[in-house]
């Protein structure tokens, strides 16, 4: 838990210092993930931007789509996927995870990395994460907001 708290606290501080993307006023709590920013389409945080460590010793900078409705999430994802070439021209290659077995969808950058890595590796991972999140959020905030509004306009809350 202490390793996650220290890593994410430093990462959020570095990301805030860039002033390139808004960063929520959060304090890492020892979990393997932290939310950086969220987009409210209706009255909920339908899209979140976060960092997390996976069980496969990878770290991701991700955009997570979860409106609370599986069908809406998949429609938003599909609209974004149709723009994949344009989006990846800004971000570089992304992993597009429709997650058909789950309600939500994810689009993410991944890098090899583990929370118990050497300090120099964690420093490099933080630098990568800052850059990855800036690229991801900058490229995705407009398209995902437009797609979500298009899909959710006639759906009940």
pLDDT at position 134 is 98
Kindly report the pTM of this predicted structure.
Answer: 0.93
Cβ atoms 92, 24 nearer than 8 A: no
pLDDT at position 157 is 54
pLDDT at position 156 is 56
pLDDT at position 154 is 60
Q: Which residues are CB-neighbours of 118 under 8 A, at least 6 positions away?
A: none
Over residues 105-122, the pLDDT tens digits come to: 999 999 999 999 999 999
Task: Report, as ranges of residue numbers, the positions in the chain whose pLDDT lies below 70.
Answer: 43, 154-157
pLDDT at position 42 is 74
Q: Is the Cα torsion angle 100, 155, 76, 126 positive or negative in sign?
A: negative
Which among 32, 39, 85 is positioned nearest to 63, based on CA atoms? 39
Tokens of 7: 């890593």
């Amino acid at each position: 838990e202490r390793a996650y708290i220290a890593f994410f606290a430093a990462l959020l501080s570095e990301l805030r210092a860039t002033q390139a993307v808004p960063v929520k006023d959060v304090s890492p709590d020892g979990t393997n993930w932290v939310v950086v920013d969220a987009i409210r389409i209706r009255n909920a945080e339908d899209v979140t931007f976060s960092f997390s460590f996976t069980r496969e010793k990878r770290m991701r900078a991700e955009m997570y789509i979860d409106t609370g409705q599986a069908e809406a999430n998949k429609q938003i994802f599909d609209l974004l996927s149709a723009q994949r070439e344009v989006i990846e021209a800004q971000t570089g290659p992304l992993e597009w995870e429709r997650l058909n077995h789950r309600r939500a969808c994810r689009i993410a950058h991944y890098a090899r990395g583990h929370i118990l890595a050497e300090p120099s590796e964690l420093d490099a991972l933080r630098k990568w994460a800052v850059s990855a999140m800036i690229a991801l959020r900058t490229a995705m905030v407009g398209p995902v907001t437009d797609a979500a509004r298009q899909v959710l306009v006639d759906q009940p809350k």
